[in-house]
């Protein structure tokens, strides 16, 4: 489901948090965000990302799904 295979997921805080790191597909700049690990697991299992991670910002959810950072989104789509 993660369309950018270059994203790296690192578990933090005893496995409760997942840090997702990668380069934006538009800017090439590194971006990272932290999300609940269980929410990431639920999304990877097929749940809609907004339901699996409702406390995560829409910008960070987009980065996880597509590899587009907030800056990249702004540059590409205004």
> Could you tell me the residue ranges of all domains in the chain?
8-77
Which has the closest alpha carbon to 26: 1, 63, 60? 63
Q: Which helix (H) or strand (E) holds 73?
A: helix 70-77
pLDDT digits (tens, 9 = 90+) for 41-70: 999 899 999 999 999 999 999 999 999 999
User: Model-level pTM?
Assistant: 0.89
Q: Would you state the structure tokens that stand for residue 58, as one six-digit string?
A: 């829409």
Quote the DSSP letter at residue 25: T
């Amino acid at each position: 489901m993660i369309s950018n295979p270059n994203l790296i997921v690192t578990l933090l805080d005893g496995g409760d948090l997942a840090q997702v790191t990668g380069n934006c597909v538009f800017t090439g700049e590194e971006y990272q965000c932290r999300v609940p690990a269980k929410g990431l697991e639920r999304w990877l299992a097929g749940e809609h990302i907004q339901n699996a991670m409702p406390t995560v910002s829409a910008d960070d959810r987009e980065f996880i799904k597509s590899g587009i950072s907030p800056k990249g989104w702004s540059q590409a789509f205004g």
